Structure 1
Amino acid sequence: MKSSYNPASASPKAAEARHRVMFLSVGQSPRTDIIGDMLENLDIPIEALEIGALDGLSQAEIDDLKVRPGETSIVTRLADGSDIVISKPRIAERMAKIAAAFQPNEFDLVVILSTGLFRDFESTCPTVNAQRAMESAVISLAAHGSAVGLIQPLQQQIGELEIPALAPYKISASYAADGDKKLLASALIDLADAEIIVLNSVSFTEADRQMVAKASGKPVVLARRIVASAIRLLLHGTHPVTLPGVSPEFSEKLLRLTPRERQVLSLVAEGLSNKAIARQLGISPKTVEIHRSNVMSKMEVTSSNALIRMVVAAGHP
């Protein structure tokens, strides 16, 4: 089942819809609370469509996806606005099948709208995996020597947080629901030693980010901004570069890149390998390697981590 979010209600420019973007969410569509917020800040003409992994299921089928003993969990939202905690591995399999069924060039971009699914999604369309983008951002910040504090939506997710690549770094975690000022304040006490706070779910809003930043006095990374930044870079491969709120220096460097190099930049920032990038863009790994080298040179960085930090900073003025 596909539902279409009408972007014209969010932005006059969106009426010129040019890029077909499919948002694949864990729960039920529509998620206009997330997608509408992203579109308002992207300033790109987009035709936004959405599929929820729980769309079309009966209540019994949804109940059958609830967490069983030994399974990891993920929280998502139903169409009536209520939250439900379901099995992470089983919903990930369901979403993978949906993504794999998309036809080549059916969409200009597919966005996996969840920061809790630790897997790659095979798709013949260029894809933004929110979890991979966030994981890459956290690793790049931690590798730079920063002590990173993660705020997860659920308490049980703290114990379930197993990202092998983060093992060498200074990472701490706490939990809070989006919009819950009391729990967010409590989480900041747990993360007192962190130098950077990451709101590690697309459910967290700009209001949450501002509240945490004000209360902590520390930089706060918002998942929605990371995902929006990835969308912007990929779609700007075929659209003039205008980046509201982004530093002139970063914008100037982006102007040096070809459309394909901007696409490679976004996928590199998501932490993808050359082979994975090649599959998404329909080019050879060797060609990706050449584009990647050009991007590093033009953006004046010497490592992928430095490139990712630059993209994260650009999305978080």
Structure 2
Amino acid sequence: MRPIGLLTIGQSPRTDIEPALAGILGANVPLVCEGALDGLSSEQLGELEAPAGPAGIETRLADGSTVVVRRDALPSLLRAAVARLPSDVRLAAYLCTGALPDIAREGLLLLDSGAILHGTVAATAQGRRLGVISLPSDLADAPESWAHHGPEVLYAAADPYGDGPPVTEAARELADSGATLLVLDCMGFDAGHQAEAARGSALPVICPAVVLGHALTALTVPDPEHRAR
């Protein structure tokens, strides 16, 4: 079984995401995670930090802490991370719901997890009022990504890393404001957060890590040299 590549804009491993994906894909599917910030010193990380907002994107480091990284620094770092994936990786995905660069590597299909999440929401939200639960650092910019999904999209903040508002409160706030469908807008939210949001709101909840896991199971990427003749 060929390994599946995972690309995080922070550091690997992503112990908050990889077990959930393994549970969906099956124990026989190897996962290989590379991070845009892998191998960087604390000084180098400090040079990449940015204020929250359009110039920065929040991600997780290997020690469980978080950092806001300059968006303009990510393309070159992600290209290096893609290059570090083993040569036998034919399928990979970003562990991020935001817009990231399309990086080409011969024989590699790299999934845009954010686009997959938006497609799932578009297919589900028809006639429903969408409520988006974003990281506190991303909340001000969330309408730029989600406003096109309806005439009145609602927003609330929650932190999957435990340093900010709990997801249950955000979900209840959105339900009380009239949302009828919720989406968790960060790959750090897992199935446990999804269940908490559902309990807090009594609404259907879309979880990006779960969506990505099932998208990966739907794909087969054979070796080009094995094409039937």
CA contact under 8 A between 2:24 and 2:214: conserved in structure 1? no
CA contact under 8 A between 2:36 and 2:80: conserved in structure 1? no
What code does the residue aligned with 1:24 have?
L
In structure 2, the residue matched to 1:159 is 140
Q: Does residue 19 of structure 1 match 2:2?
A: yes
Q: Does residue 183 of structure 1 match 2:166?
A: yes
| Mapping of residues 231-242 of structure 1, within 5 Å | 231-235=216-220
Question: How big is the shift at 1:70?
Answer: 7.0
Question: SS of the residue aligned with 1:19?
Answer: coil
1:121 is aligned, of 68, 78, 103, to 103
More helix by share: 1
Structure 2: gaps of 5 or more residues = 225-229
Looking at structure 2, the residues matched to 231 and 48 of structure 1 have their Cα atoms a distance apart, in angstroms, of 11
* TM-score, normalised relative to structure 1: 0.61
The alpha-carbon distance between structure 1 residues 199 and 69, as it changes in their structure 2 partners (threshold 3 A), is closer
The alpha-carbon distance between structure 1 residues 123 and 131, as it changes in their structure 2 partners (threshold 3 A), is farther
The alpha-carbon distance between structure 1 residues 31 and 59, as it changes in their structure 2 partners (threshold 3 A), is same
Looking at structure 1, the residues matched to 199 and 96 of structure 2 have their Cα atoms a distance apart, in angstroms, of 26
The alpha-carbon distance between structure 1 residues 185 and 195, as it changes in their structure 2 partners (threshold 3 A), is same
| Mapping of residues 1-317 of structure 1, within 5 Å | 18-43=1-26, 45-68=28-51, 71-99=54-82, 101=83, 106-124=88-106, 125-142=108-125, 144-153=126-135, 155-161=136-142, 162-163=144-145, 166=148, 169-178=151-160, 180=162, 183-192=166-175, 193-235=178-220
Looking at structure 2, the residues matched to 168 and 191 of structure 1 have their Cα atoms a distance apart, in angstroms, of 15
Question: How big is the shift at 1:51?
Answer: 0.8
* TM-score, normalised relative to structure 2: 0.82
Question: How big is the shift at 1:149?
Answer: 0.9
Looking at structure 1, the residues matched to 52 and 182 of structure 2 have their Cα atoms a distance apart, in angstroms, of 31
In structure 2, the residue matched to 1:289 is none
The alpha-carbon distance between structure 1 residues 151 and 168, as it changes in their structure 2 partners (threshold 3 A), is closer
Looking at structure 1, the residues matched to 27 and 2 of structure 2 have their Cα atoms a distance apart, in angstroms, of 8
Looking at structure 2, the residues matched to 164 and 210 of structure 1 have their Cα atoms a distance apart, in angstroms, of 22
The alpha-carbon distance between structure 1 residues 89 and 168, as it changes in their structure 2 partners (threshold 3 A), is farther
Question: How big is the shift at 1:176?
Answer: 0.5
Structure 1: gaps of 5 or more residues = 1-17, 239-280, 282-317
Looking at structure 2, the residues matched to 175 and 164 of structure 1 have their Cα atoms a distance apart, in angstroms, of 14
The alpha-carbon distance between structure 1 residues 172 and 210, as it changes in their structure 2 partners (threshold 3 A), is same
Looking at structure 1, the residues matched to 120 and 75 of structure 2 have their Cα atoms a distance apart, in angstroms, of 21
In structure 2, the residue matched to 1:288 is none
CA contact under 8 A between 1:149 and 1:195: conserved in structure 2? yes
Question: SS of the residue aligned with 1:81?
Answer: coil
Question: How big is the shift at 1:123?
Answer: 3.7
Question: How big is the shift at 1:199?
Answer: 1.0
Deviations 1:35-85 (A, max 9, x none): 122112222621221111111111111111111587433221111121112
Looking at structure 2, the residues matched to 121 and 37 of structure 1 have their Cα atoms a distance apart, in angstroms, of 25
Looking at structure 2, the residues matched to 129 and 218 of structure 1 have their Cα atoms a distance apart, in angstroms, of 26
Looking at structure 2, the residues matched to 103 and 213 of structure 1 have their Cα atoms a distance apart, in angstroms, of 36
Question: How big is the shift at 1:90?
Answer: 2.2
Question: SS of the residue aligned with 2:217?
Answer: helix
The alpha-carbon distance between structure 1 residues 166 and 96, as it changes in their structure 2 partners (threshold 3 A), is farther
| Identical aligned residues as a percent | 26
What code does the residue aligned with 1:113 have?
L
CA contact under 8 A between 2:8 and 2:96: conserved in structure 1? yes
CA contact under 8 A between 2:53 and 2:138: conserved in structure 1? no
Question: How big is the shift at 1:167?
Answer: 6.2
Looking at structure 1, the residues matched to 123 and 93 of structure 2 have their Cα atoms a distance apart, in angstroms, of 21
The alpha-carbon distance between structure 1 residues 72 and 139, as it changes in their structure 2 partners (threshold 3 A), is farther
Q: Which moved more, 1:191-200 or 1:223-232?
A: 191-200
Q: Which has the higher contact order (CA 8 A, sep 6+)?
A: 2
Looking at structure 1, the residues matched to 204 and 181 of structure 2 have their Cα atoms a distance apart, in angstroms, of 5
